[in-house]
Amino acid sequence: MTFKSRLIKSLRKISPAQESPNGTVTDAPDDDLYLLDPPKTPTQPLQSSQPISTAPVTAAEIEQAIKSAHRERLSAEDRAIKEAQKRLETETKARVAAEARARAEANARMAAEERLKAETKATEEARARAQAETLAINEANANRERDIQARQLTEEKLKTEQELAVLLHTKIKTESAIVEEARERARQEALALDKVNAQLIAEKEAAEIAQTSAKKAEEAHQTALAVIEAETSAREIAEAKIRENEKQLALASANAEAEKKEFEEKQIRTRLETELQQQIAMRLEAETNARIATEAKLQAETEAIQAALEKAEQESQATEAAIEAKRRAELEIGSLAERKKTVETEAAQAAQAQYEADQKAIAEAQARIQADTGAKNAALKKADAESRAREAAEAKTKADLFAADEANAKADIEQRQQADAELRAQAIADAKRAAAERLETEQQITELAVTRAQAKIAAANKTRMLLEAEKKVAEMAIAKANAESSALAMIEQRIQLEAKALEEATQREAVERMANEALIARSEENKKATAAATARLRAALAASGHSREQSSTPLQRCDQSDFDTLPNTAEKNLEQSANIATTRKLRKD
């Protein structure tokens, strides 16, 4: 039922008395013309005139009175209907305004919820960005400290390598001095060879003289036996020296392997030092030149035949001095390795201190995260309070709607309107206050977000600068590593060339050994030839015994002098050959 129908029912009242056609008053039916209550003014004289007035009342007067009452009733009904319409219009307007307010509040609630969600997302994103920035800053600090430590280590390595370069320079100087001494020895050996050649020529002439005289054959046989014995002793000495040379070659190969290991260690160390690699390259070139000189010297020595034992002793002393210098260099290298170990321990301590600082920074970051979580909890509490306020507002709106529904049933519409107006005013004031508070909180949040964004932008710029610097350093390190790798490849090639040179030296030693064996075989053949010659001489002596007895006195003197010269020359030749063999082996060592 509508408000209009209820209002009509409330206004529709059956008239209490209605006059019948015969002059009596009767009750009016429901479908009579008088739908509304008759006015009180015309009915009272009608009711009171009956007992008071005694004048007769005509039907026309009654009709006029009825018509006037009907008109007044109709006018009153019209006025009541207009007032009811006005009240209905005001109520509909109030209802529409209440619905609009409810929709506006619902929209405001939805917007507030969306803002809260956006703020929570923004806070979470800001937190994640802050964590990422803190991690990036920590990584940048760690990388910076690592670079500092690497620079310190490289400086220490450079110092150690410089010391090694100084030691190698001294070693090169000693080797150059040894080479000069070897050259002088070669010159002296050349002079000795000239002397030996002259002696050989004289020996050949003496041998021709010995062949012409048969008497000197026995003494030559004796001298040949002595020569054979000397050759056997020389062969034994040569074999012993060959063994010593083999031992020295084994030591040299072991030293070469040790040097290879040292080169490998230097390859690991010299990945970041280009200057040291250049110095090492120069040193290797000097060593190769020295090896070439030594090879030339060995070739000259292979052409030489004889040498002096005193020179061999000098060479042994020189080798001992070189071995002592090498030992000193190895001791200095060991001390440098110990220094390097101390530097590495100091770097480890610095890394430990950096780790502790990182732990402190992590603790501070955790404290900041806890503060952020507290702020987030406060924001959540505020959101809960706002949600409660929204629920209260919804309850208020429901109460307003319920009150509006009840106001439709009440007769006193003006009081309801006043109450509604008061409630609306309170709701509007509350909404304004809540909106002002929300605006203030939103402004504060935006200011905080702006400050955080500015700080993050500054930190991001710093991290970008640091990353660019680190990239430049990394590019420089890569270029340096490439240069070092190329230098190490050159060093490996030189090591291979040195290994080939050592193999060639071993082959030359094998050839010389075979030559010694050929000399030994030749001496055995000479021994057999001398035995045959002695047999022939004895037969000739037995045949010409008488003739020798006759001319024994003058010939014995001459032969005795000749035989004295022959053994001396043979012994000298044997000694010179033995000295040459020993000096050759010592030079190979």
Residues 38 and 146 occupy one common structural domain: no
Burial of 285-307, coded b for 16+ CB within 10 Å and e otherwise, reads: ebbeeeeeebeebbeebeebbbb
pLDDT at position 508 is 82
Q: Report phi then psi at 545, rounded to 5.
A: -75, -40
Residues 308 and 163 occupy one common structural domain: yes
Cβ atoms of 341 and 140 within 8 Å: the answer is: no
pLDDT at position 491 is 76
Q: Report phi then psi at 136, rounded to 5.
A: -65, -40
Q: Tell me which amino acid residue 78 is.
A: D
Q: Determine the Cα–Cα distance for residues 64 and 403; give it in Å rounded to an integer.
A: 47
Quick one: which H or E segment has residue 21?
Answer: none
Q: Determine the Cα–Cα distance for residues 340 and 294; give it in Å rounded to an integer.
A: 35
Residues 1 and 150 occupy one common structural domain: no
Residue 214 DSSP SS3? coil
If one counts every other C-beta atom within 10 angstroms of the C-beta of residue 567, the result is 16
Residues 264 and 162 occupy one common structural domain: yes
Q: Determine the Cα–Cα distance for residues 502 and 512; give it in Å rounded to an integer.
A: 15
Residue 120 placed within a domain: no
Q: Which two tokens stand for residue 320?
A: 């001992």
Residue 113 placed within a domain: no
Q: Determine the Cα–Cα distance for residues 128 and 372; give it in Å rounded to an integer.
A: 11
Residue 507 placed within a domain: yes
With CA atoms as reference, report the closest residue to 519 among 242, 295, 187, 298.
242
Domain that holds residue 483: 141-364+474-541+555-588
Residue 420 placed within a domain: no
Residue 3 placed within a domain: yes
Residue 404 placed within a domain: no
pLDDT at position 2 is 66
Question: First-to-last CA distance in the chain?
Answer: 133
- Give the model confidence (pLDDT) of 139-165 as tens digits: 888 888 888 888 888 788 878 877 877
Q: Which two tokens stand for residue 50?
A: 């009956």
Residues 293 and 167 occupy one common structural domain: yes
| pTM of the predicted protein model | 0.20
Fill in the DSSP letter of residue 36. B
* 58: alpha, beta or left? (left if phi > 0; alpha if psi -120 to 50): beta
| Beta strand ranges found along 404-554 (DSSP E) | none
Quick one: which H or E segment has residue 18?
Answer: strand 18-19
Q: Which two tokens stand for residue 426?
A: 């309170």
Dihedral angle computed from the Cα positions of residues 563, 568, 571 and 573, in that order, rounded to the nearest 10 degrees: -100
Residue ranges, the chain, pLDDT below 50: 13-54, 554-555, 558-567, 570, 574, 588
Concatenate the DSSP letters of all residues of 334-388 into one string: HHHHHHHHHHHHHHHHHHHHHHHHHHHHHHHHHHHHHHHHHHHHHHHHHHHHHHH
| Listed residues 17, 35, 52: the one ending a domain | 52
| CA-angle at 384, arms to 382 and 385, nearest 5° | 65
Q: Determine the Cα–Cα distance for residues 137 and 459; give it in Å rounded to an integer.
A: 8
Residue 206 placed within a domain: yes
Domain total in the chain: 2
Q: Determine the Cα–Cα distance for residues 157 and 270; give it in Å rounded to an integer.
A: 9
With CA atoms as reference, report the closest residue to 287 among 585, 485, 502.
502
Fill in the DSSP letter of residue 26. E
Cβ atoms of 203 and 573 within 8 Å: the answer is: yes
Residue 427 placed within a domain: no
Tracing tokens 């009171």 back to the chain, one arrives at 48
Residues 154 and 31 occupy one common structural domain: no
Whole-angstrom CA distances from 554 to 114, 537, 558 are: 147, 20, 7
Q: Tell me which amino acid residue 222 is.
A: Q
Residues 152 and 45 occupy one common structural domain: no
Q: Determine the Cα–Cα distance for residues 571 and 438; give it in Å rounded to an integer.
A: 126
- Give the model confidence (pLDDT) of 537-586 as tens digits: 778 778 777 566 665 554 455 444 444 444 455 455 545 555 555 555 55
Fill in the DSSP letter of residue 14. -
